[in-house]
Structure 1
């Protein structure tokens, strides 16, 4: 399946091990709502002011909670408590919703009331301990955060935050020893190296800070496990060296970061600042910010599909202690976008301080969020202004190109990427493959294959095993009846690289269909439907394949599924005609290579573009 939509440019991908993810969910409140628990749809239509019963308030609150509409959920949970003030479960849900909505002080009041409730003890202990650090009650914080349980994540979190309480109390040596003595899984070191470095910085021990931060940025696991924390360590070390007048060492640290994660805009800004002779201030300067950084690091590392609520909880609490932390705001904005809350995302991006090296990233994401909220023209003007302000920043062209792709303005999209290629110059880097790939898509959609094909080939030259490019170019060749075997091999390789990508598997099935290999098409398209349930195009393709192998009842069923499934690329009138009349017979005189259906079937959308 081809797809030109690139709703969001890839932000820093936050990956982690299974053990770490499992630990997070073990730490979740047991009564947290899940999509499977979503109450009756009629509850969604309740208006808070009109709710006149506990059951109505509770059901409507749960619906709002599952939909991540926290302001409404909070109002309705409070309404439910009017009917049943002693209901502990409602109060637990209210507290969590308050934190998720960024209402830290209100959530903290509920946490104090629930401090003896074992069901939410993990949450109440952390937030109360952090509040104590924020208020300078370091001894109290230490008492609250004492932990002897079996959960590795809780052990790490409590120990690190407790150590920051020691730093705040002036017992820096004790704090550093506590963290050095911490034992646990190998992934602990990713976090402890950075925390030790920043604790030493706050304490004024630059030699210890340099040692620990160097360990953090030379840890091979750090980039894969906690890339945000890795980049924080890189920038902290660079700032340390710049402050000591060691400009070259500062730039060397930045080069380490560039080598691991390319095109990271804050590093570019930091490099320019240091090269101009400035000595940028450190991000963590006190115990409160340090404690906030613990939750940021863990929440960022756990940021993945399905974990949005718990990650938001960590980040919102971190934000309350360090409200100007730009990377926290950007991650919260990214989560809001994933949850299809563009207006909320915009509000986070707008809060990033103007002098932050991450301001550029926030502006780019703001442009994408504007488009996501259907303010397309405003998004276009915003992103064009960013390109004008810094024509060398390739991220700007990708963000603007994404908006143009969604708007199907392929002429402007092609012109945009033409400019980006000029910026790249005659010697592109491996990371520039995306620019050529997107330019190829623009020209392919303009039906200028002679200009599209060289761009796809260039993208593959730069990144030979890139599944999206293999899929797009391979499918395009098959669809045009060119280079059939080579194209099919490319799609097969894309499937090998992304076996769980329903769109790419659909490409393989539809390629087989276009080549007249209907049994093979059925096998792949059945798998694609399982991988990507509810996609109209894939259901339509499977229906066509079923018809060609004589499974006509199943074909009609799949076409009917396509009519009620999601997807803008299908022609529903053609599908209705197929349901009514079926597919016309094939030309029995066609050769194998040319045995391609000529009926007006729903076209396959373009192979999957960069949707990450």
Structure 2
């Protein structure tokens, strides 16, 4: 993988340079800074530092490799290209360098030059090389050879789905929709069943005059749920319009599809940094490939490169059918980077423009709830619930999320009704059982039902520290201290550095007379409190007070009921 190349070949270059102290001193700083940036997937900084180091030691193969890879991670094929060409001219084998040179040739549609390359020494990998060659042959006017090559690839073990998906796309791109549909229906593989594959097939069916079949195929793939892009397609089909086949309009589009489809497959097996490079090349070959853009932005989020992800999402044109999806992604990236107000603003604007989309309102509700803006969250969830059919898969969560907001607003009757509605829609859901059961115990009502709910939740999620903690804590609140001990100890095993869980265990230990162990747990809990977390549930002042005077005195000071007699053998 490319990450391993960064950590081995570039390191080898530095080790070699160390023997030449003058050169080593001049590049050590930028090299180490680049390596650190690369380890954190900060491609922008890595490219800058590696380029600086390479300018001082231009002969070093490891630095060339690292610099090319970093530029690819940012999507700057043009900056990686001169270094990649130099590496090839020197006979250096490098997947990232070969990918860069190939991307440039294909973007300029120099198919003959690409086909003349020796894939054994200048290729990317067997599957990608084969698919690229087939599409390049079609681009060079050798359609029969290209289609035959897809068949040849399909005969190889494990890659039949890839080959036939691309052959179907190629046939449709060449206008042979009958043959394309025959492949889609008879050789349906995993790629044909993706969102992109399903939409391509709908366009093929429409070209064949089979709009009703196209609608049925979309319903089978996506159910009754929809989004602006799918809705627009269905409306056009219902109106009798013939959909243009937009997924492949040229061989270059097909070549971009190779990198995009492989990126989707690699995501299940490779790291996001390696997968991102395939997505970057897909967009280089086809700048309007919005699906590739969304994939890249999602990968950047996964690598916690939130600023780059935000910038990527913002590149989706506001008139594109996927604009709402991009804005939802941008809001998520802003949230994760700590820019909560900016995220809320994005979602509020989106709600004005796409007011009929439940996901927009539910997402806005989630962000508002996490910011403790519960009244506004309830209003957003109200709209989302009104727009969502109760039979929809996610309807239970909307009631659950609204119930949490209502509970925080101390509107318990409405909250309880929502919790119970969520359980009707999703019976046995452990999060709902846990929250509702815990709330009932805190209110000292329906205690038998509450305990049964939490026990059911633990049975469903025995490795959830939060839920196991709830069971132990509920038993403690019921005065069943001995029974609580084992569950609280298990919760701490599952969540050893959670301050609330450790604090709870301390209280339980105190209740059974194990005072020294209780004090130890309170000290542990106090050490785990994050002073910068304003939303933390842990109360460090209460922990300190318990350490000073004990839990019994704290309860008396709070006006709470005293503990029952401890089971301490007298």
Give the alignment's TM-score, normalised by structure 2.
0.82
Query: Which fold has the larger relative contact order, with Cα–Cα distance below 8 Å and residues 6 or more apart in sequence?
Result: 1
Range with greater deviation from structure 2 (459-468 or 100-109) = 459-468
Measured at CA, do residues 396 and 95 of structure 1 come closer, stay the same or move farther in structure 2, by a change above 3 Å? same
- Could you say what secondary structure the match of 1:461 adopts? helix
Range with greater deviation from structure 2 (394-403 or 165-174) = 165-174
Question: Which residue of the other structure, out of 272, 276, 279, is the alignment partner of 1:312?
Answer: 276
Structure 1 residue 326 and structure 2 residue 326: aligned?
no
Instruction: Write the distance in 2 (CA, Å) between the matches of 1:99 and 1:276.
Output: 44
Aligned positions of 1:397-546 closer than 5 A: 397-424=361-388, 427-464=390-427, 466-484=429-447, 486-488=449-451, 490-491=453-454, 494=457, 502-508=465-471, 510-511=473-474, 513-515=476-478, 516=481, 517-529=483-495, 535-544=498-507
Instruction: Give the Å deviation of 1:321.
Output: 1.1
Question: Which residue of the other structure, out of 31, 34, 43, is the alignment partner of 2:5?
Answer: 31
Instruction: Write the distance in 2 (CA, Å) between the matches of 1:110 and 1:402.
Output: 46
Question: Which residue of the other structure, out of 344, 354, 378, is the alignment partner of 1:380?
Answer: 344
Aligned positions of 1:59-138 closer than 5 A: 59-115=32-88, 121-138=94-111
- Match of 2:16? none
Give the aligned CA root-mean-square deviation in angstroms.
3.8
Question: Which stretches in structure 1 are left out of the alignment for 5+ residues?
Answer: 1-26, 38-50, 588-593, 598-612
Instruction: Write the distance in 1 (CA, Å) between the matches of 2:379 and 2:270.
Output: 37
Q: Deviations over 1:338-364 (max 9, x none)?
A: 344433222212211334321221123
* Conserved? CA contact 1:92–1:120, under 8 Å: no
Instruction: Write the distance in 2 (CA, Å) between the matches of 1:495 and 1:287.
Output: 55
- Could you say what secondary structure the match of 2:394 adopts? helix
Instruction: Write the distance in 2 (CA, Å) between the matches of 1:67 and 1:354.
Output: 31
Instruction: Give the Å deviation of 1:100.
Output: 0.8
Q: Which structure is larger by alpha-carbon Rg, 1 or 2?
A: 2
Instruction: Give the Å deviation of 1:231.
Output: 0.6
Question: Which residue of the other structure, out of 174, 194, 210, is the alignment partner of 2:145?
Answer: 174
State how many pairs are aligned: 537
Instruction: Write the distance in 1 (CA, Å) between the matches of 2:265 and 2:225.
Output: 19
Structure holding more helix per residue:
2
Q: Deviations over 1:393-444 (max 9, x none)?
A: 111112211221232110011011112222236x542332232222122112
Instruction: Write the distance in 2 (CA, Å) between the matches of 1:579 and 1:117.
Output: 70
- Could you say what secondary structure the match of 2:300 adopts? helix
Q: Deviations over 1:312-341 (max 9, x none)?
A: 222112111111111121222223333444
Instruction: Give the Å deviation of 1:101.
Output: 1.1
- Match of 1:268? 231
Instruction: Write the distance in 2 (CA, Å) between the matches of 1:528 and 1:565.
Output: 23
Q: Deviations over 1:194-235 (max 9, x none)?
A: 22221111222211211223357x55xx3xxx69x7111111
- Could you say what secondary structure the match of 2:552 adopts? coil
Instruction: Write the distance in 2 (CA, Å) between the matches of 1:144 and 1:371.
Output: 46
- Match of 1:24? none
Instruction: Give the Å deviation of 1:524.
Output: 2.3
Instruction: Give the Å deviation of 1:59.
Output: 2.2
- Match of 1:58? 31
* Conserved? CA contact 2:552–2:562, under 8 Å: no
Measured at CA, do residues 484 and 249 of structure 1 come closer, stay the same or move farther in structure 2, by a change above 3 Å? same
Measured at CA, do residues 199 and 449 of structure 1 come closer, stay the same or move farther in structure 2, by a change above 3 Å? same
Measured at CA, do residues 32 and 102 of structure 1 come closer, stay the same or move farther in structure 2, by a change above 3 Å? same
Instruction: Give the Å deviation of 1:539.
Output: 4.7
Question: Which residue of the other structure, out of 555, 558, 574, is the alignment partner of 2:521?
Answer: 555
Question: Which residue of the other structure, out of 540, 558, 562, is the alignment partner of 1:572?
Answer: 540
- Could you say what secondary structure the match of 1:555 adopts? helix
Measured at CA, do residues 390 and 552 of structure 1 come closer, stay the same or move farther in structure 2, by a change above 3 Å? closer
* Conserved? CA contact 1:176–1:196, under 8 Å: yes
Structure 1 residue 197 and structure 2 residue 164: aligned?
no
Instruction: Write the distance in 2 (CA, Å) between the matches of 1:399 and 1:345.
Output: 18
- Match of 1:389? 353
Instruction: Write the distance in 2 (CA, Å) between the matches of 1:173 and 1:293.
Output: 20
- Match of 1:607? none
Instruction: Give the Å deviation of 1:83.
Output: 3.7
Measured at CA, do residues 343 and 246 of structure 1 come closer, stay the same or move farther in structure 2, by a change above 3 Å? same
Instruction: Write the distance in 2 (CA, Å) between the matches of 1:417 and 1:74.
Output: 44
Question: Which stretches in structure 2 are left out of the alignment for 5+ residues?
Answer: 12-23, 556-560, 565-570
* Conserved? CA contact 1:350–1:362, under 8 Å: yes
Range with greater deviation from structure 2 (403-412 or 58-67) = 58-67
- Could you say what secondary structure the match of 2:34 adopts? helix
Measured at CA, do residues 407 and 237 of structure 1 come closer, stay the same or move farther in structure 2, by a change above 3 Å? same
- Could you say what secondary structure the match of 2:2 adopts? coil
Measured at CA, do residues 64 and 457 of structure 1 come closer, stay the same or move farther in structure 2, by a change above 3 Å? same
Structure 1 residue 256 and structure 2 residue 212: aligned?
no
Q: Deviations over 1:119-154 (max 9, x none)?
A: 9623333333333222223244345473699x9x94
- Could you say what secondary structure the match of 2:529 adopts? helix
Instruction: Give the Å deviation of 1:163.
Output: 1.9
Instruction: Write the distance in 1 (CA, Å) between the matches of 2:467 and 2:151.
Output: 47
Structure 1 residue 158 and structure 2 residue 129: aligned?
yes
Measured at CA, do residues 167 and 546 of structure 1 come closer, stay the same or move farther in structure 2, by a change above 3 Å? farther
Measured at CA, do residues 479 and 177 of structure 1 come closer, stay the same or move farther in structure 2, by a change above 3 Å? farther
Question: Which residue of the other structure, out of 307, 325, 333, is the alignment partner of 1:361?
Answer: 325
Instruction: Give the Å deviation of 1:583.
Output: 3.5
- Could you say what secondary structure the match of 1:430 adopts? coil
- Match of 2:313? 349
Range with greater deviation from structure 2 (555-564 or 283-292) = 555-564
Instruction: Give the Å deviation of 1:185.
Output: 8.8
